[in-house]
């Protein structure tokens, strides 16, 4: 009879790796750190030495395979681990055995017993079998208080999110942001040149998120006072966050403390236009994250320009090295994606000229497709003759 305490570390590693079965195993695809020895050790709270021994044994039993892969945040290839077919079959056996293990759930409308494997559906995906086992090992009564894991009604303040009709050429970057959300790095900075689509990329990602509180803030439109008030109102709407009745006078420190407790995503758009007072606020946020002994639930995303002045940044190189901040620098689109935006199979030579002028900017390519000459004159140094030439070049289809 399987019990929560009888599950071995080898079996826990197998259950853990099942979470990543959808990851593309191709060598040219960057992998998350979670499937390295370091990631397994940190997520399962096992020593690196112990993990090294476990994966070696699992490999010998043909339950996992080891691959040298490019890993997000690392310059050299690292060992990564995937379930084999035999490993997947072993996980299925484990889950079948766990389906016969009952757990008492309390703190919901009624106390009742359900199978460990049914907790994932009960909690809207919050408790998979592995996470449930981790909680149950400290429970003498084999029970789980559902207060912490009940599905939340997310507060999503997203009126300022720009409408994105279609996102071109950013599938890999979108996948990286999805992966970041599941990791322990609290801050993501998405940086690019004007028109490279950092805002559109993050807006597309946020539209996918259904189970977290979200606040989207357009910094270009916000004074520091309005920013603070918006954060306060967001916390107040979430409710049950320890705010005083007369909370209009809530200080920065109290707002920061409450923010860090929330299962929320805060998006600060157009960070290159940030006010000094907001930078100071975020400096305080970074200090609180560094000082905290516990992992914060808050996730912060900023979008901005690659050339944002150093003095306007609230994070330093050391924060990147400590894995408190992840930077994503957007590159230009390639010819294939440019063709998709222009919606035409353009002659190679003509496309080369277009790429030379636009530098693969999604915004400029879109304006070119729409023949929005007025906007192109406003935001580029191009003369009318150059724009007319580009308009002509985009009509030169391949035969």
Q: What is the pLDDT of residues 50-99, one digit of tens each?
A: 999 999 999 999 999 999 988 877 888 999 999 999 999 999 999 898 88
Q: Which of 100-104, 123-127, 333-337, 393-397 has the highest mean pLDDT?
A: 333-337
User: What is the arrangement of strands in the sheet containing 143-145, beginning at the earlier edge strand?
Assistant: 112-115, 102-106, 143-145
pLDDT band at residue 247 under the 50/70/90 scheme: very low
Amino acid 186: pLDDT: 93
Please report, rounded to a whole number, the percentage of residues in the chain having pLDDT higher than 90: 27
Mean pLDDT of the 322-343 span? 88
Query: Is it the case that residue 240 has pLDDT exceeding 60?
Result: no
Query: Is it the case that residue 127 has pLDDT exceeding 60?
Result: yes
Q: How far is residue 239's CA from residue 243's CA, in Å, rounded to a whole number?
A: 8
In this structure, which topology does domain 156-329 adopt according to CATH? Rossmann fold (3.40.50)
C-alpha torsion sign, points 26, 28, 29, 31: positive
DSSP-derived secondary structure letter, 31: B
Mean pLDDT of the 139-143 span? 71
Give domain limits for the chain: 1-98, 100-151, 156-329, 335-393
Q: pTM for the whole thing?
A: 0.67
Q: How does DSSP assign 130-163, residue by residue?
A: HHHHHHHTT-TT-EEETTTTSPP---EE-TTPPP
105 within 8 A of 112, measured Cβ to Cβ: yes
Query: Is it the case that residue 250 has pLDDT exceeding 60?
Result: no
Amino acid 109: pLDDT: 62
pLDDT band at residue 203 under the 50/70/90 scheme: very high
C-alpha torsion sign, points 335, 340, 346, 350: negative
Q: How does pLDDT run across 341-373, given as a tens digit for each residue?
A: 888 788 888 889 999 998 888 888 888 888 888
Encoded tokens for 264: 């929320």
In this structure, which topology does domain 1-98 adopt according to CATH? Arc Repressor Mutant, subunit A (1.10.10)
Please report, rounded to a whole number, the percentage of residues in the chain having pLDDT higher than 70: 91
């Amino acid at each position: 009879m399987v019990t929560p305490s009888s599950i071995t570390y080898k079996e826990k590693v197998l259950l853990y790796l099942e979470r990543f079965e959808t990851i593309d195993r191709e060598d040219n695809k960057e992998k998350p750190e979670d499937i390295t020895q370091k990631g397994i050790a940190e997520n399962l709270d096992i020593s690196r030495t112990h993990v090294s021994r476990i994966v070696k044994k699992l490999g010998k039993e043909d339950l996992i395979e080891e691959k040298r892969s490019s890993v997000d945040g690392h310059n050299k290839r690292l060992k990564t681990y995937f379930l084999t077919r035999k490993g997947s079959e072993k996980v299925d056996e484990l889950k079948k055995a766990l389906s016969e293990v009952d757990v008492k759930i309390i703190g919901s409308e009624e106390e009742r017993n359900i199978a460990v494997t049914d907790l994932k559906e009960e909690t809207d995906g919050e408790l998979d079998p592995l996470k449930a086992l981790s909680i149950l090992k400290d429970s003498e009564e084999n029970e789980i208080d559902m207060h912490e894991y009940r599905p939340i009604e997310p507060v999503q303040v997203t009126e300022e999110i720009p409408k994105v009709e279609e996102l071109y050429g950013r599938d890999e970057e979108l996948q990286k942001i999805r992966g970041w959300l599941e990791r322990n790095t609290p801050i993501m900075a998405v940086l690019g040149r004007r028109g490279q689509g950092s805002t559109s990329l993050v807006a597309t990602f946020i539209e996918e998120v259904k189970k977290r509180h979200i606040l989207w803030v357009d910094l270009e439109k916000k004074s520091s006072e309005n920013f603070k008030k918006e954060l306060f109102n967001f916390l107040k709407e979430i409710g049950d966050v320890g705010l005083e009745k007369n909370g209009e006078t809530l200080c920065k420190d109290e707002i920061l403390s409450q923010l860090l407790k929330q299962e929320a995503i805060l998006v600060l758009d157009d960070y290159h236009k940030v006010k000094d007072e907001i930078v100071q606020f975020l400096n305080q946020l970074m200090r609180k994250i560094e000082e905290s002994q516990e992992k914060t639930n808050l996730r912060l995303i900023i979008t901005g320009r690659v050339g944002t002045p150093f003095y306007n940044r609230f994070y330093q190189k050391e924060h990147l090295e400590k894995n408190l901040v992840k930077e994503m620098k957007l590159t230009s689109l390639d010819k294939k994606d440019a063709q998709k935006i222009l919606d035409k199979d353009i002659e190679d030579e003509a496309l080369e000229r277009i790429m030379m002028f636009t530098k693969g900017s999604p915004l400029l390519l879109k304006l070119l497709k729409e023949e929005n000459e007025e906007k192109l004159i406003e935001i580029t140094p191009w003369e009318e003759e150059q724009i007319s030439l580009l308009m002509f070049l985009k009509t030169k289809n391949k035969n």
